Structure 1
Amino acid sequence: MDVHRLELLRELAERGSVTAVARATNRTASAVSQQLKVLEREAGIPLTERHGRGIRLTVAGRALAATATDVAIALERAEAVWEDFTRQPRGEVTLTTFPTAGEMLLPGLLHALADVPGLVLSCTDQDPLLPDFADLTPDHDVVIADASGVLPSWRERGLTVVELMREPLDIALRPDHPLAKRSKLSPADLVDEPWIGAPREFPYDRILTRIAAIAGRDLDVTQRFFDNGIAEAMVAAGHGIAILPRYTTRDRENGLVTRPLTGIRSERILWALVRPDRMERPSVRVVVEALRAEAAAYTERMAARGVA
């Protein structure tokens, strides 16, 4: 079987439609369909079936798509052997992140990789409302994700998952708030407060759900924002309290204090997600290792400043 047609089948499994595969591979939808039909003849059994207005993979198609991943890994490994032989990780590596992770990690990462000859790191940021960061892995070599643990969809895709850092999530309030006099806050301290919340099912919102469960009643969430800067401004103006990340909350000098939350695990975990075939490239491995080192260094710098 032709490896290029196998790769199209894999892309169909990842992207869900012929149109999406055509767009991603710079082909027409007709050309993609023709190549898939040729692959089906080579395989000798149906690989796709009609589904609504489009097509989907059969059981055999899904099995062959998984094999296509193994083929891609083997090809990338072969190329990696050659690149390792030359000792030079080269080429462009694309990385995408959500805004606050980029704020913390990208400046130092770019400094760390600036002297690697032949390596070009191209970075972008993404909307933090994205349902699953794994959806970005077909289009980017490295994806920085925010989740409380390894998600089932990451395992199902066979992604390489690297934990980068853990950032505590604190309670943010005005300096003149009565609770600001305390060094730590418990769920019982917070149940009667008005809250500036995050969108439902965001990591911050899940912590509010745990506080409500411990209290045995709903919390008064008056507003919801996914932008932390807006939440900071609302808290500083006295409209409520909020859960905000410890390292990237900026407004401490202009109207905010933060206090750790006790009795509940309150943190977010930053991960690097990479498709396994791309992880075989020396250049991608260099970026991931530098990213992990920068995350550790950033955490140490925060501790030295008394923020951790």
Structure 2
Amino acid sequence: MDVRRLELLRELADRGSVAAVAAATHRTPSAVSQQLKVLEREAGVPLTERVGRGIQLTGAGEALAATARQIATAIEAAEALWSEFTKLPQGTVSLSTFPTAGQMLLPGLLTMLDDEPGLEVVVTDHDLDRPDFASLTPDYDIVLADSQGIPEHWTRDGLRAVTLMTEPFDIAMPLDHPLAERAVLKPTDLVSEQWIGAPVGYPYDKVLDGLAAATGRAPRVVQRIMDNLLVERLVAAGIGLAILPRYTTRIHDSGIVTRPITGIPAERQITALLRADRAERPSVRRVIELLELEGRRVSARYAHPAHRR
């Protein structure tokens, strides 16, 4: 079987449609379909089946796509091994970030690249309307993602997940709120409050789920806002309390204070997601190493109250 046709099958498994594969590989849909038919003849069994106006992989197609991922990973590993004997990590690495991860990790990462000749990182920022970071991995070498724990679907289909750091969540409230007098909050302190929530499914929103489980009362969410700066302004105006990340929330001259909460999980993991074959590239591996280093530096720096924003 031709490796390039196997790669097209793998792309179809990851992207879900012939049109998406064609756009990503700079082919026409008919050319992609033709190559997949050739691969099907080589395999001797149906690899796709029509569903409505599109197609999906058969069981045999899924199995062969998994094999294609293993082959791609092995090829990248072989090339990486050879590169270690011939040159330093170099080339362009594409990276997708969401806003607060970028605030914490990118200044240090991009500064460290001054000492990495020939290595370049091209950044694209995304503020997803749903926390579906895995869907970005076909288009970027590294995808920065946040979650509470590592979702199972992140490690399916050959994805690698590298945890870079953990960031605590705090309760944000106006300066004159009665709870601001307390050093640490318990779930029972918050049962009568109203909330500026995050979109459903976001890590912040899962803390509110934890509050509901701990108190037996669903929090009263009056607004759901994705942009943390806007959330801070609404909290300062007294519209409601909010769950916000400790290291990137602006508490100086913002009209709000933050307090930690005990008794429920209240933190998120910042993770690098990437395809297993791309994880074998020396350039990608080096950027992951630098991100891990910066994650440790950020955690140590922001753990000191004087450095909180």
TM-score class normalised by the smaller sequence: over 0.9
Question: Does residue 138 in structure 1 map to residue 143 in structure 2?
Answer: no
Residue 106 of structure 2 aligns with an amino acid whose one-letter code is L
In the other structure, the counterpart of 1:125 is 125
Give SS of 2:124's match.
Answer: strand
Is 1:19 matched up with 2:22?
A: no
* Structure 1 letter corresponding to 2:245: P
Aligned to 1:232, what secondary structure does the other structure show?
Answer: helix
Please tell me whether the aligned partners of residues 136 and 143 of structure 1 are also in contact (alpha carbons under 8 angstroms).
yes
Question: 1:289: how far off?
Answer: 0.5
**Aligned ranges for residues 292-303 of structure 1 at < 5 Å?**
292-303=292-303
**In structure 1, distance between residues paired with 2:252 and 2:238:** 14
CA distance in 2, matches of 1:81, 1:46: 36
Match of 1:239, SS state, is coil
Per the TM alignment, residue 307 of structure 1 is displaced from its structure 2 partner at its CA by 5.5
Q: Is residue 201 of structure 1 aligned with residue 196 of structure 2?
A: no
Per-residue deviation at 1:47? 0.9
> What's 2:284 paired with?
284
Please give the alpha-carbon distance, in whole angstroms, between the structure 1 residues aligned to 2:24 and 2:241.
44
Look up the SS of the partner of 1:39 in the other structure.
helix
Identity of aligned residues (%): 61
Query: Which runs of 5 or more residues in structure 1 are unaligned?
Result: none
1:253 maps onto 2:268 in alignment: no
Q: What amino acid is aligned across from residue 172 of structure 2 in structure 1?
A: A
Greater Cα offset, 251-260 or 231-240: 251-260
Q: CA deviation at 1:141?
A: 0.5
Counterparts of 1:43-54 in structure 2, within 5 Å, are 43-54=43-54
Q: Distance in 1 between matches of 2:270 and 2:300?
A: 16
Q: Where do 1:105-120 residues align within 5 Å?
A: 105-120=105-120
Q: Give the structure 2 partner of residue 233 of structure 1.
A: 233
Distance 1:218 1:279 in 2: 42
Name the SS for the 1:252 alignment partner.
Answer: coil
Structure 1 residue 166 and structure 2 residue 160: aligned?
A: no
CA deviation profile, 1:69-109 (whole Å, cap 9, x unmatched): 11111111121122111131111100001111001100100
State the 1:305 CA deviation.
Answer: 4.1
1:153 is displaced (CA, Å) by 1.0
2:85 counterpart SS class: helix
Give the C-alpha shift of residue 251 in structure 1: 3.5
- The answer as to whether partners of 1:99 and 1:128 remain within 8 angstroms in 2 is no
CA shift for structure 1 position 36 = 0.4
Partner of 2:175: 175
**2:131, 2:201 within 8 Å by CA — same for their partners in 1?**
no
Matched to 2:197, the amino acid is G
Q: Write the deviation string for residues 143-174 of structure 1: whole angstroms up to 9, x where unpaired.
A: 11101111111222221111111111000111
Secondary structure at 1:295 match in 2: helix
| Aligned twin of 1:78 | 78
Single out whichever of 295-304 and 90-99 deviates more from structure 2: 295-304
The alignment's TM-score, normalised by the length of structure 1, stands at 0.97
Asked if 1:32 is matched to 2:48, the reply is no
Tell me the CA shift for residue 201 of structure 1. Answer: 1.7
Query: Distance in 1 between the 2:254 and 2:45 partners?
Result: 67
Distance (Å, rounded) in 1 between the aligned partners of 2:134 and 2:79:
25
Alignment coverage as a number of residue pairs: 308
